[in-house]
């Protein structure tokens, strides 16, 4: 059976990462935070004194990226975030990272039966055949507030107004770039988390997975349900914050 792929896309700090990790844990799937790939390229390039605007230098770093680079402790800072968004606009960087992401989805590590990938272009470019696609979003202010609190929580300095401005610049860059711009796949379900906490977002996402694939967390099967078969319901998750495919 082909591995189950769950594609989660959306702008910065919308809650994709938390959601992807929880879905992967409860459904026993592998998880790849694809933003870490772009962040690792950016961090290595900055460390070598390179310029994120230099497409050839960034592509060379992406081609030489090793799995161990994803575990660097310095990937979440604002300088790396901004540089990640710059290097990710270079087609050579994206091409170099595409195979790794597709291989992860096609043959998830540790023999897992599927994978959750989160990023900007998973549903549109990396895994356009994924049966479950979520586009997680929230207002810029809510997202900036979350990122600000995340930075403070890690003991880093942070000024909310700066975080908001930088996030809006990054969103604009991600949305307006020529290759793999940030946008929902036509068959993605939009999950607006502005007024949803992590638990509510998780519940809505689980309902979507069940509706699209019949897959439910172990121990939550309903009598008479056939695991692995699409549910009979057309099943839009029952929350006002969830919208169906956009087109």
Residues that bind ligand CDP (CB under 6 A): 12-13, 17, 34-35, 38-39, 81, 84-85, 88, 119-121, 170, 174
Q: Any idea of the CA torsion for 65, 69, 75, 81, to the nearest 10 degrees?
A: 0
Closer CB to ligand CDP, 88 or 213, in the complex: 88
CB of residue 48 to ligand CDP, shortest distance in Å: 19
Residue nearest to ligand CDP (CB): 35
Closer CB to ligand CDP, 3 or 181, in the complex: 181
Closer CB to ligand CDP, 174 or 192, in the complex: 174
Closer CB to ligand CDP, 84 or 196, in the complex: 84
CB of residue 14 to ligand CDP, shortest distance in Å: 7
CB of residue 117 to ligand CDP, shortest distance in Å: 8
Closer CB to ligand CDP, 170 or 212, in the complex: 170
Task: Residue 228: name the closest of 212, 244, 239 by CA.
Answer: 212
CB of residue 45 to ligand CDP, shortest distance in Å: 13
The 3-class SS string of the chain reads: CCCEEEEEECCCCCCHHHHHHHHHHHHCCEEEECHHHHHHHHHHHHHCCCCCCCHHHHHHHHHCCCHHHHHCCCCCCHHHHHHHHHHCCCHHHHHHHHHHHHHHHHCCHHHCCEEEEEECCHHHHHCCCCCEEEEEECCHHHHHHHHHHHHHHCCCCCCHHHHHHHHHHHHHHHHHCCCCCCCCCCCCEEEECCCCCHHHHHHHHHHHHHHHHCCCCCCCCCCCCCCCCCCCCCCCCCCCCEECCCC
CB of residue 131 to ligand CDP, shortest distance in Å: 19
Closer CB to ligand CDP, 167 or 210, in the complex: 167
CB of residue 170 to ligand CDP, shortest distance in Å: 5
């Amino acid at each position: 059976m082909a591995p189950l792929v769950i594609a989660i896309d959306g702008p910065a700090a919308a809650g994709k990462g938390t959601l992807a990790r929880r879905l992967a844990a409860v459904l026993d799937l592998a998880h790849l935070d694809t933003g870490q790939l772009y962040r690792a390229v950016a961090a290595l390039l900055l460390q070598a004194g390179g310029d994120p605007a230099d497409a050839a230098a960034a592509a060379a770093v992406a081609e030489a990226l090793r799995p161990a680079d994803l575990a660097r402790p310095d990937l979440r800072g604002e300088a790396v975030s901004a540089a990640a968004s710059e290097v990710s606009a270079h087609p050579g960087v994206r091409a170099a990272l595409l195979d790794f992401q597709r291989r992860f989805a096609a043959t998830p590590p540790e023999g897992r039966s599927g994978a959750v990938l989160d990023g900007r272009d998973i549903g549109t470019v990396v895994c356009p055949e994924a049966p479950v696609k979520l586009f997680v979003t929230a207002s810029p202010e809510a997202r900036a507030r979350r990122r600000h609190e995340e930075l403070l929580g890690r003991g880093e300095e942070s000024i909310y107004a700066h975080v908001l401005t930088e996030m809006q610049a990054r969103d604009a860059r991600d949305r307006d770039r020529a290759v793999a711009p940030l946008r929902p796949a036509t068959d993605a379900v939009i999950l607006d988390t502005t007024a949803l906490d992590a638990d509510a977002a998780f519940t809505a996402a689980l309902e979507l997975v069940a509706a699209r694939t019949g897959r439910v967390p172990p121990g939550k099967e309903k009598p008479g349900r056939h695991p692995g078969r699409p549910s009979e319901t057309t099943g839009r998750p029952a929350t006002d914050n969830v919208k169906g495919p956009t087109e």
